[in-house]
Chains A and B, each alone.
Chain A
Amino acid sequence: MSANDNDIAIVAFAQTPSYAHFNNSEPEMIMPLVNDVIGQTGLDRHDIDFTIAGSCDYLSGLPFAFVMNIDAVGAWPPVYESHVEMDGAFAMFEGFVRLKCGDIDTALVSGSGKSSPGSPRIFTALQSDPYVMAPLGVDHVSLGAIQARMLLEAGTVTEEELGAIAVRCREAGAKNPYAQITDALSLEDYLAQPLYNAPLRQADIAPTSDGAAALILARGKKAYDLCDNPVWIRAVDHRMESHHPGLRDLTTSVSTRTAAGKVGLHDGPVDIAELNTLFTHEEVILCEALGLGDGTKINPSGGPLVGNPTMAVGLTRVIEVARAIQNGEARRGVAHCSSGSALQQNLLVVLEGDK
């Protein structure tokens, strides 16, 4: 038992598969997950003190989609509820901070998105600077590709090493029941792929996905009332850099390195890291910035390269680490979520089990 009164734990979690296309509404993705996590804890819906979601109306092109999503979480009679227009991992951060206030004990967190009806390359362009970038359609794939070229030309990584990351994630994804991309990929297959956004190949780029994830947080001893094996959130930190790529060194991630220091990442062993790698080369940057070595399993789920439900993909990283800890495959690990293009914003969550 390692619960101080104000420690916060994950006591239940659930995720949908990563769908290439989910031909029903976003609430229909979320609702079964909410029922699942509530069922895991035995809580009555209205015993949950705080509800928070992360989603983005731009994705499905449905104004106030986030309000429709409240249909899925059970909000009548009215509940204490909040929303962030960001990945569910950032919603979890708000839930974590809210619980740290100490006056409530439980929070329901969800993240969801349907990218398939729209075009991720268009909406990521629209979230860039509206004066000097958005009118040019500067999209996340192109900025990622510029970043990848800088790494390749600096000699930090080779094409074969990027290919090896793609191959390893694909192999891991074949064992992940939630994965969307499960076709085998060899290094020869990778190198034979035509360049898409040169120097990136399609196999370097996370797919377009629909999906959702949900979890319940509990504070202090309440966690043991709800779960035999809670996973404790030891620290969270979120840092961001300029959204003007010309003001950043794209070959490294200052914000990730800063966040790693703030969460005390290396105060203990890091058995597992689930990283929000939307491109193969981001794994190289993140592992360097996080100081991860051979002792850490990187994206054993296959990561976003095998399933990338925008607005749930970061929360899914948290869930994958929590699952590995509950399964006894790890005792302590880190989940990472990014936002913006080319790793502009980075969130780290250090998770730890009792055993």
Chain B
Amino acid sequence: MTETHAIDYTMEFPYTRTVGPVFGPFLTGLRDGKIVGNRVNGRVLVPPMEFDPDTGKPVELDFVEVGPGGTVVGWTWVSDPSPKHPFQHPFALALITLDGADTAMVHAVDAGSIDAMSTGMRVEPQYHEDRHGAVTDVHFVPEGTATTVAIVPGEEPVMITEHSIALRIQEELHDHRRRFVEGLLAGRIIGQKSPVDGKVYVPGRGYDNMNRTLLTEADEVEVADRGTVVAFTQITPVQYHGQKETEPYIRCSVLLDGADQPVLGIDIRDITMADFRIGMRMQMVWKPEGQRDASDIDNRYASIPEGCYETWKPTGEPDVDPDSLKEHSW
């Protein structure tokens, strides 16, 4: 069962940033095979700065090419690189003062071995074949070991730099969420009942926030697999990257019998808007045991996963008076 409860997902976001008047020439320089700093208050800053570090004032645009060689003034040997590092083999992250610069920049030195690294060592840039106007267009190597890359300067200055960020999250389902999933797979919907006011939350979150009370397995109760529609909307799918929906559908919230908090995010694809009502009584039609899939549930806000049911169908019971559902209309 452990496999079912492991959560492993990666959130990614592609950032496209305008580069501005100072980082622009720096990143344009890297694309075109040179390193550019700026002169500020008598010092040459590399990387260039948009402000005077001493006063915070905006700077005059006064660029100066530095390097290509430089001196390592501080370093660490990264023996166990993170997925975000430029190399997946051991390498150095170093503070490098380029020839002609007064400040050091952080960059990677691919030295092969920690024994090749020392403070004061000379390094030079190794430009990459693929360059896009990003700080990752280059890394450094011990002086005299860079291989020549034929560089044709680009025509337009770099205006945008792209950086895709990602965070990988790995954890187990929280204890109460795991029990909720195990219940669904066994055909039971489990909620948590507050010992303070008796309200039942589905799915539970491990606490009753209204009364600041932790809820445990001892507070868990089974609720019905039928209930009342308390809110709904029609979703017309917008076609974005990753979108799987093509046809309009209803997304509704159902207050299950025995619960005080509706289950949100239940999608209805076989009833039209004209036939859908607040107060309508609905029955969840389970998938057969063994065919239920709750693997897309995680520790965030959770609904009953669509993989656990075939559909929801009207029970045919009289509607509940919508006025009596106002407290649950979410």
Point out the residues of chain B lying under 8 angstroms from A133, CB to CB: 106, 135
Point out the residues of chain A lying under 8 angstroms from B166, CB to CB: 122
In angstroms, Cα B116 to Cα A182, docked, is 37
Q: How many residues of A contact B (CB 8 A)?
A: 60
Pairwise interchain contact A134-B165, C-beta atoms closer than 8 A = yes
B133–chain A nearest beta-carbon distance, Å: 10
B212 CB within 8 Å of chain A: yes
Pairwise interchain contact A200-B76, C-beta atoms closer than 8 A = yes
B209 CB within 8 Å of chain A: yes
A28 CB within 8 Å of chain B: yes
Pairwise interchain contact B76-A198, C-beta atoms closer than 8 A = yes
Point out the residues of chain A lying under 8 angstroms from B49, CB to CB: 244, 247
Pairwise interchain contact A117-B74, C-beta atoms closer than 8 A = no
B207 CB within 8 Å of chain A: yes
B171–chain A nearest beta-carbon distance, Å: 4
Residues of A122-150 at the interface with B, using a CB-CB cut-off of 8 Å, are 122-123, 125-126, 130-139, 142-143, 145-150
B244 CB within 8 Å of chain A: no
Closest to B85 in A: A137
In angstroms, Cα B193 to Cα A58, docked, is 31
Pairwise interchain contact A125-B84, C-beta atoms closer than 8 A = yes
Closest to A241 in B: B53
Point out the residues of chain A lying under 8 angstroms from B31, CB to CB: none
- Which of B15-23, B270-278, B289-297, B304-312 participates in binding chain A? B15-23
Pairwise interchain contact A58-B136, C-beta atoms closer than 8 A = no
Pairwise interchain contact A136-B214, C-beta atoms closer than 8 A = no
Instruction: Select one of B74, B79, B134, B207 contacting A195, CB under 8 A.
Output: B79
B278–chain A nearest beta-carbon distance, Å: 24
Instruction: Select one of B11, B17, B76, B119 contacting A153, CB under 8 A.
Output: B119
Which residue of A45, A137, A196 has the most chain B CB atoms within 10 A of its CB atom?
A137
In angstroms, Cα B93 to Cα A197, docked, is 10
Which residue of A25, A58, A143 has the most chain B CB atoms within 10 A of its CB atom?
A25
B86 CB within 8 Å of chain A: yes
B308–chain A nearest beta-carbon distance, Å: 22
A27–chain B nearest beta-carbon distance, Å: 6
B149 CB within 8 Å of chain A: no
B94 CB within 8 Å of chain A: yes
Point out the residues of chain B lying under 8 angstroms from A195, CB to CB: 77, 79, 114
In angstroms, Cα B167 to Cα A88, docked, is 23
Pairwise interchain contact A131-B93, C-beta atoms closer than 8 A = no
Point out the residues of chain B lying under 8 angstroms from A242, CB to CB: 53
B153–chain A nearest beta-carbon distance, Å: 20
In angstroms, Cα B169 to Cα A35, docked, is 30
A340 CB within 8 Å of chain B: no
In angstroms, Cα B163 to Cα A228, docked, is 54
Point out the residues of chain B lying under 8 angstroms from A197, CB to CB: 76-80
Point out the residues of chain A lying under 8 angstroms from B83, CB to CB: 122, 137
B175 CB within 8 Å of chain A: yes
A24 CB within 8 Å of chain B: yes
A23 CB within 8 Å of chain B: yes
In angstroms, Cα B119 to Cα A212, docked, is 40
Instruction: Select one of A71, A125, A139, A142 contacting B209, CB under 8 A.
Output: A71
In angstroms, Cα B169 to Cα A136, docked, is 20
Pairwise interchain contact B167-A119, C-beta atoms closer than 8 A = yes
Pairwise interchain contact A246-B106, C-beta atoms closer than 8 A = yes
B122 CB within 8 Å of chain A: no
Point out the residues of chain B lying under 8 angstroms from A198, CB to CB: 76-77, 79, 114
Pairwise interchain contact B172-A27, C-beta atoms closer than 8 A = no
Pairwise interchain contact B79-A31, C-beta atoms closer than 8 A = no
B161 CB within 8 Å of chain A: yes
B48–chain A nearest beta-carbon distance, Å: 9
Pairwise interchain contact B93-A136, C-beta atoms closer than 8 A = yes
Pairwise interchain contact A27-B207, C-beta atoms closer than 8 A = yes
B300 CB within 8 Å of chain A: yes
Instruction: Select one of A34, A153, A244 contacting B47, CB under 8 A.
Output: A244
Pairwise interchain contact B136-A135, C-beta atoms closer than 8 A = yes
Pairwise interchain contact A146-B169, C-beta atoms closer than 8 A = no
Give a binary string over B261-302; 1 marks a CB under 8 Å from any A CB, 0 the rest. Answer: 000000000000000000000000000000000000001100
A118 CB within 8 Å of chain B: yes
Instruction: Select one of B26, B134, B170, B206 contacting A28, CB under 8 A.
Output: B206
Pairwise interchain contact B299-A25, C-beta atoms closer than 8 A = yes
Closest to A150 in B: B74
Point out the residues of chain A lying under 8 angstroms from B15, CB to CB: 130
Pairwise interchain contact A72-B207, C-beta atoms closer than 8 A = yes
Closest to A45 in B: B212
B82–chain A nearest beta-carbon distance, Å: 5
Instruction: Select one of A71, A76, A136, A139 contacting B207, CB under 8 A.
Output: A71
Pairwise interchain contact B300-A62, C-beta atoms closer than 8 A = yes
Point out the residues of chain A lying under 8 angstroms from B75, CB to CB: 146, 149
Interface residues of A (CB under 8 A from B): 21, 23-25, 27-28, 31-32, 34-35, 45, 58, 60-62, 71-72, 74-76, 116-119, 121-123, 125-126, 130-139, 142-143, 145-150, 153, 195-200, 242, 244-247, 250
Interface residues of B (CB under 8 A from A): 9, 11, 15, 17, 19, 23, 26-27, 45-47, 49, 53, 74-86, 93-95, 97, 103-108, 114, 119, 134-136, 161, 163, 165-172, 174-176, 205-207, 209-210, 212-214, 299-300
Q: Pull 26 A–B residue pairs with CB atoms less than 8 Å apart, ordered by A.
A: A21-B171, A24-B174, A25-B174, A31-B214, A61-B11, A61-B169, A72-B209, A72-B212, A74-B209, A74-B212, A118-B167, A119-B82, A121-B84, A126-B84, A131-B17, A131-B47, A132-B23, A132-B26, A137-B81, A137-B84, A146-B74, A147-B74, A150-B74, A198-B77, A200-B76, A246-B106
- Which 5 pairs across A and B sit closest by C-beta, in order of nearness? A137-B84, A145-B76, A71-B209, A61-B169, A246-B104
